[in-house]
Copies of this chain bind each other. A is one copy, B any other.
Amino acid sequence: MEKYPLKRTGLSSPHNSPTYQAVNKKYTNGSRATYTANDDMIDISTSGSGTAGGDRSARLGEDEDGLSHYSVAFGGGVQESADIPGIGQYDDFHTIDWQRDIARDRMRHRYIVKRKQDSIWNLLEGAHDAWSGWLCVLAVGLVTGAVAGVIDIGASWMTDLKFGICPQAFWLNQEQCCWSFNDFDTGNCTQWLTWAQVLGTSKTGAGGYIISYLFYVVWALLFAALSASLVRMFAPYACGSGIPEIKTILSGFIIRGYLGKWTLIIKSVGLILSVSAGLSLGKEGPMVHIACAIGNILSYLFPKYGRNEAKKREILSASAAAGVSVAFGAPIGGVLFSLEEVSYYFPLKTLWRSFFCALIAAFILRSINPFGNEHSVLFYVEYNKPWIFFELIPFIGLGIIGGVIATIFIKANLYWCRYRKFSKLGQYPVTEVLVVTALTAVIAYPNPYTRMNTSQLIYLLFSQCSISNSDNLCDYNRNFTDVKSAIDIAPAGPGVYEAIWQLMLALVVKLVMTIFTFGMKVPCGLFIPSLCLGAITGRIVGIGMEQLAYNYPKMWFFSGECSTSDDCITPGLYAMVGAAAVLGGVTRMTVSLVVIMFELTGGVRYIVPLMAAAMASKWVGDALGRQGIYDAHIALNGYPFLDSKDEFQHTSLAADVMQPKRNETLSVITQDSMTVDDIEALLKDTEHNGYPVVVSRESQYLVGFVLRKEVNLAIANAKRMVDGICGQSLVIFTSGNPPQTLGPPPLKLKKILDMAPITITDQTPMETVVDMFRKLGLRQTLVTHNGRLLGVITKKDVLRHIKQMDNEDPNSVLFN
């Protein structure tokens, strides 16, 4: 009870407890993951004290009410019994047992199916149970779409607030303000006043510029300060992109409160604020976290999912798809992102539900229509030119450049995050945010391309030049009176060259600022900054290619396609390809990336360039540095994540990895010769999560496996409830009678014994063991030789062994 004084409250009622934020703060204060708990952690709260255990059981008994009235054999031969509540729950920072949870769910399902005939009510209950998965993802889709709409509208309004205000209706952003008064020239409408105008200065001129600059910086600081403070005070878990943690959680780890309602609220509000502050970050990654939090909260409405960690992860996978779906308006891309990048256990049923969830979310967002266009896609563009085969060379070139930029970003960002983690900097998160915001704002304002919203910049870079586009980027020497000439190829004007210089500056500024921004204690994603870096690079290369084609249209590699005056090169397409390349290099997404970009443009035609660039970028990235940003952050924080993409390349055997090592002894429980006192002493002396049960200490033939938690609960319960059980009572795991009849009555614990533990032999190669851990979702496996128990391998042992074989510090797992 001493070490984790608030733990039990957090555990029994993870989201409603008033002390919940305090719990969170204790474990994450100042750093994303400073928890000291580990896979073998003792749960002190239930051991040693009968009162505490009883108290807890009582409370958990209420919690489990909906489930406790069935008590039949389940899972690996274990009995779920109403008299030992709390079974099937996990402690914070523990690994879940997929097999057991899935078995528990099938048990429950069978029970409901069996009762269906009994009454109409039971039939309805059965129908509700069958539908609850669909209902749950429907609800998640609806709420995610709505929340995304609110965030989009809020961020758009507050971003414009930095520049000015709509006096007649302050709640409108610039575009809506101008439109609502039928003034469609957004750039110069009279209804929208810049802060300079509000203060009576002219819009242009030095005075106006300085006032606007000041307001820009002050608003940015205000937003950033608010965002960082909210995160620090109410929900430390709301910082960052959340994707590394979501990946870890979906792989079967418990981080209580990470997907709770406070995290959801603070992350949503903080995201609006930090995006509006003009920091170099995006809202797409955090949207995944927000969607998963929504999924987690709504899953509690459906006990089938809320009470079963393995089943809950099916909902979370669907939620992640919905998150990407609303972030980009790309439902198919979202599903593939969830499948490829985020999810761990992805049965086909989940594929279908994810798709449904993603679609509903996209549909709701489209109905809210935050962007005011009909496509519900952030960067909807339509190109009308096919690409030339020769262009594959610059596209692959962009892929290589993208991979290099991505590697620079990952390495620098990791260096900085590690520095933050292990230096005093980590103790001043709000100050850090303020300094970075101030720097960003001051540097960004003078350059029009960094001043504008990053999404707007990307959209501008993706677009084709048309008559209506008056940006410098489209300052070609064209005759604008002739509509047809707008699509002819033309020499670049001075505006284009100016734009190129500004873009190059913007590239450097964005790269540097993003390195410092990603990892700060505000909600921040890096999809948008990555896309932006790539789009800038791509557009510059595209303009270069375009001018090449203009000046040398007869070159063989343009193969005559540019000899007519048509514009055979689309610089916007290069921007898109470049964006895909950098994002692919940073995240190592492949198929989902291409599909997301494809959904943005809506044309199958450009898949080949996108894929060429994404592949080149991934290969360059893999060659220069093994991990994508998410995996790197997982490793940095030491999350217990067993990556299904990495192949285990070594030749070690189970015997090399198992605990105990040669000179230690294995802690086992015998099936019928230990007393309650013996077992309590064993539990006190060792810290394992569970203990193998053997026939006898001499023979070591394996009988089964019991969990520490369940032994504790059972003994505490028996002491309290059953007369005559004392320290001298024999504990018996067999079904027969005890060998002795004298002394106190024996304590029969066969019902908590898992008689079907997964076992392997000591000669099993570790690659098979790793495969089994991944595919079967194991917490531990028992190692035998000719039927005799030799040792145990836990997931932590596996992770440590992998680190060791890769010449990394094995102790970085789970501790930091």
| A interface list, Cβ under 8 A from B | 73-77, 99, 102-103, 106, 109-110, 113, 329, 331-332, 335, 339-340, 347-349, 351-352, 355-356, 359, 362-363, 375-377, 590-591, 594-595, 598-599, 602-604, 607-608, 611, 615, 644-645, 647, 649, 651, 653-654, 695, 701-704, 755-761, 763-765, 767-768, 771-772, 775-776, 784, 786-788
Q: Is the CB of A611 within 8 A of B355?
A: yes
Choose among B349, B356, B757 the residue that contacts A611 (Cβ–Cβ < 8 A): B356
Q: Is the CB of A340 within 8 A of B348?
A: yes
Choose among B363, B654, B756, B765 the residue that contacts A764 (Cβ–Cβ < 8 A): B756
Closest to A386 in B: B374
Q: Is the CB of A103 within 8 A of B765?
A: yes
Choose among B106, B113, B349, B363 the residue that contacts A608 (Cβ–Cβ < 8 A): B363
Q: Is the CB of B768 within 8 A of A701?
A: no
For the complex, give the distance between the alpha carbons of A595 and B649 in Å: 36
With a cutoff of 8 Å between Cβ atoms, the chain B residues found around residue A788 in the complex are 701, 787
CB distance from A303 to the nearest CB of B (A): 19
With a cutoff of 8 Å between Cβ atoms, the chain B residues found around residue A329 in the complex are 604
Q: Is the CB of B767 within 8 A of A106?
A: yes
For the complex, give the distance between the alpha carbons of A609 and B757 in Å: 47
Q: Is the CB of B787 within 8 A of A702?
A: yes
Q: Is the CB of B784 within 8 A of A608?
A: no
For the complex, give the distance between the alpha carbons of A608 and B355 in Å: 11
Closest to A757 in B: B761
With a cutoff of 8 Å between Cβ atoms, the chain B residues found around residue A359 in the complex are 607-608, 611
**Can you list 28 A-B contacts with CB-CB less than 8 angstroms, sorted by A residue number?**
A99-B768, A102-B771, A106-B649, A110-B649, A113-B649, A331-B607, A332-B595, A335-B591, A340-B348, A351-B590, A355-B590, A355-B594, A356-B611, A359-B607, A363-B608, A375-B604, A377-B604, A599-B604, A602-B603, A695-B787, A701-B786, A702-B786, A756-B760, A756-B765, A756-B768, A757-B761, A759-B759, A787-B788
With a cutoff of 8 Å between Cβ atoms, the chain B residues found around residue A608 in the complex are 359, 363
The number of times this chain is found in the oligomer is: 2
With a cutoff of 8 Å between Cβ atoms, the chain B residues found around residue A99 in the complex are 768, 771
Closest to A363 in B: B608
Closest to A599 in B: B604
Closest to A331 in B: B607
Q: Is the CB of B775 within 8 A of A591?
A: no
For the complex, give the distance between the alpha carbons of A628 and B235 in Å: 48
With a cutoff of 8 Å between Cβ atoms, the chain B residues found around residue A787 in the complex are 695, 701-702, 784, 786-788
Evaluate whether A776 and B786 lie within 8 angstroms (CB atoms) in the complex, with A331-B607, A590-B355, A651-B73 already known: no
Q: Is the CB of A772 within 8 A of B768?
A: no
CB distance from A255 to the nearest CB of B (A): 24
With a cutoff of 8 Å between Cβ atoms, the chain B residues found around residue A756 in the complex are 654, 760-761, 763-765, 768
CB distance from A132 to the nearest CB of B (A): 15
CB distance from A458 to the nearest CB of B (A): 19
With a cutoff of 8 Å between Cβ atoms, the chain B residues found around residue A591 in the complex are 335, 351-352, 355
CB distance from A252 to the nearest CB of B (A): 15
Q: Is the CB of B611 within 8 A of A695?
A: no
With a cutoff of 8 Å between Cβ atoms, the chain B residues found around residue A595 in the complex are 332
With a cutoff of 8 Å between Cβ atoms, the chain B residues found around residue A113 in the complex are 649
Q: Is the CB of A77 within 8 A of B763?
A: yes
Q: Is the CB of A76 within 8 A of B763?
A: yes
For the complex, give the distance between the alpha carbons of A376 and B764 in Å: 50
Closest to A768 in B: B99
CB distance from A144 to the nearest CB of B (A): 16
CB distance from A292 to the nearest CB of B (A): 20
Q: Is the CB of B103 within 8 A of A768?
A: yes
Q: Is the CB of A604 within 8 A of B767?
A: no
Q: Is the CB of B776 within 8 A of A772?
A: yes
For the complex, give the distance between the alpha carbons of A578 and B349 in Å: 23
Q: Is the CB of B764 within 8 A of A76?
A: yes
Q: Is the CB of B768 within 8 A of A76?
A: yes
Evaluate whether A644 and B604 lie within 8 angstroms (CB atoms) in the complex, with A335-B591, A651-B110, A701-B787 already known: no
With a cutoff of 8 Å between Cβ atoms, the chain B residues found around residue A759 in the complex are 759-761, 784
Choose among B106, B332, B335, B363 the residue that contacts A647 (Cβ–Cβ < 8 A): B106
With a cutoff of 8 Å between Cβ atoms, the chain B residues found around residue A775 in the complex are 775-776
Choose among B106, B594, B765 the residue that contacts A75 (Cβ–Cβ < 8 A): B765
Closest to A594 in B: B355
For the complex, give the distance between the alpha carbons of A787 and B765 in Å: 20
